[in-house]
Structure 1
Amino acid sequence: MRINADFTKRVAVHFDETEWVQSPAAGVERKMLDRIGEEVARATTIVRFAPGSAFAAHTHDGGEEYLVLDGVFQDELGDFPTGMYVRNPPTSSHTPATEPGATILVKLHQFDSDDRTEVRQPIAGEGRVDLHRDAVEDVRVERWAAGEAVQVDADGGLEVFVLSGSYAEGGETFGKWDWLRVPPNGSFQAVAGPDGAEVWVKSGHLSQMI
């Protein structure tokens, strides 16, 4: 399976314009943003867990990072409520589940095989909140004021996911849970909407895909 697999191109996915797709697990649905592979894949996905649903225990050979968008996501390590960012490195394993239901943004099989960095951090705060940074990538949450003009370095590629508010970029308006991927050596110049914007940003990591 290949979805938005050409990393030389700008890609935008608007949440309200895409359908949920049933996963192999009962009560778990997905909106696939990009994907290379079948059930085990390099993937960026919005996943919705119905109350009481779960996935079977599994190991993330290529690592996983996720941001809880709604509800409470759970595994053996604890409960992760809305606004929690989690990074599980390669060789980590868990049994994901949720009693109350949850929606997450998750990226799979995108870590260096030697990476062993774990992160469990809430995104709450004022302005920019740094979540993870290394020689390859920079992951953070940024908050832009209403009408603010924003320019972000996209030399190594860029992903922007809207948590709340909106912004305009490249002739498009991006609202809640919309996703934009800018290729390496691209550009990102945006203007925040009338209510400002809170966005999850990941940059510098896409050069390896070209």
Structure 2
Amino acid sequence: MKLHADLSQRVVIPSEELPWIDSPMPGVQRRMLERDGEEVARATSIVRYGPNSHFSAHNHGGGEEFFVLEGTFSDEYGDYPAGTYIRNPVGSTHTPFSQNGTTILVKLWQMHPHDQQRVVINTNQAGWFPGLVDGLEVMPLHSFGSENVALVKWTPGTQFKHHSHLGGEEIFVLDGVFEDEFGVYPRGTWLRNPSGSRHTPFSQSGALIYVKTGHLPSTIEPTFPTAIVTQ
């Protein structure tokens, strides 16, 4: 299966408008954002566990990264409430479940095999740092090679400088409304901007976003959208 598998293409998906698709395990459903492969695949998805649902024990041959959006996600190593960021490295195994239900943003088969650090961060308790412009705060979550992952908080009226993304950029809007010259992205929107893409992001009303940069191939020619002109 190939869904938005061409990493040279810009993708914008309002995830809350997508249908839920049943997974092979009862009580577990998915909204697919990108996928290159069948059941074992390079994939980014929103996954929903119903109350008292579980997934079978499995190995992460390409690693697993996820952010808990709602509820509490659990496995044999612990319980992870909404706002928790987790990285399970290549070769790790677990048996996930949820007693009361949970929804997560999850990325599979997208880790470097040498990135063996397991990461568990409750972002409700972690610290914020000043961003590069006034009104911007950053919470670093992980860094390996050229890849960086962080939460970024935008106060209303904040605008960032025009910049390009060597290695691409991926964004999931956790709260509020994120914007740039190409569009308006409310809560639940997933964006993938290819390597070499450029934009001038801002937020008129404020936003909280998950951001990953530097992880997409840089040897492909990116495609660019046409800027939206507002009167």
Quickly name the TM-score band, shorter chain normalised: over 0.9
Counterpart selection for 2:178 from 167, 176, 192: 167
Aligned to 2:4: 4
Aligned to 1:150: 160
Map residues 9-24 of structure 1 onto 2, 5 A cutoff.
9-24=9-24
The answer to whether the Cα contact below 8 Å between 2:196 and 2:218 also exists between their aligned partners in 1 is no
- TM-superposition CA deviations, 1:61-80 (whole Å, max 9, x none): 11001000000000011000
Q: Structure 1 residues 147 and 174 mapped into 2: Cα distance closer, same or farther (>3 Å)?
A: same
Q: Structure 1 residues 209 and 39 mapped into 2: Cα distance closer, same or farther (>3 Å)?
A: farther
What SS does structure 2 have at the residue aligned with 1:139? strand
User: How far apart are residue 113 of structure 1 and its match?
Assistant: 2.0
User: How far apart are residue 189 of structure 1 and its match?
Assistant: 1.7
User: How far apart are residue 7 of structure 1 and its match?
Assistant: 0.8
**Matched residue type, 1:162:** V
Map residues 98-113 of structure 1 onto 2, 5 A cutoff.
98-113=98-113
User: How far apart are residue 136 of structure 1 and its match?
Assistant: 2.7
The whole-number CA distance in structure 2 between the counterparts of 1:32 and 1:55 is 17
Q: Structure 1 residues 141 and 181 mapped into 2: Cα distance closer, same or farther (>3 Å)?
A: same
What SS does structure 1 have at the residue aligned with 2:54? coil
The whole-number CA distance in structure 2 between the counterparts of 1:193 and 1:32 is 29
Aligned to 1:39: 39
User: How far apart are residue 207 of structure 1 and its match?
Assistant: 1.7
Unaligned runs of 5+ in 1: none
Give me the TM-score of the superposition, normalised by structure 1: 0.95
The whole-number CA distance in structure 1 between the counterparts of 2:160 and 2:171 is 12
Larger Rg: 2
The answer to whether the Cα contact below 8 Å between 2:168 and 2:218 also exists between their aligned partners in 1 is no
Counterpart selection for 1:189 from 191, 197, 200: 200
The answer to whether the Cα contact below 8 Å between 2:115 and 2:144 also exists between their aligned partners in 1 is no
- TM-superposition CA deviations, 1:60-119 (whole Å, max 9, x none): 011001000000000011000000000000110000100010000000011122321111
Aligned to 2:212: 202
Give me the TM-score of the superposition, normalised by structure 2: 0.87
**Matched residue type, 2:139:** V
The answer to whether the Cα contact below 8 Å between 1:53 and 1:99 also exists between their aligned partners in 2 is yes
The whole-number CA distance in structure 2 between the counterparts of 1:52 and 1:208 is 42
The answer to whether the Cα contact below 8 Å between 2:195 and 2:218 also exists between their aligned partners in 1 is no
User: How far apart are residue 9 of structure 1 and its match?
Assistant: 1.0
How many residues of Structure 1 are paired with residues of Structure 2 in the alignment?
A: 209
User: How far apart are residue 208 of structure 1 and its match?
Assistant: 6.0
User: How far apart are residue 153 of structure 1 and its match?
Assistant: 4.3
Aligned to 2:117: 117
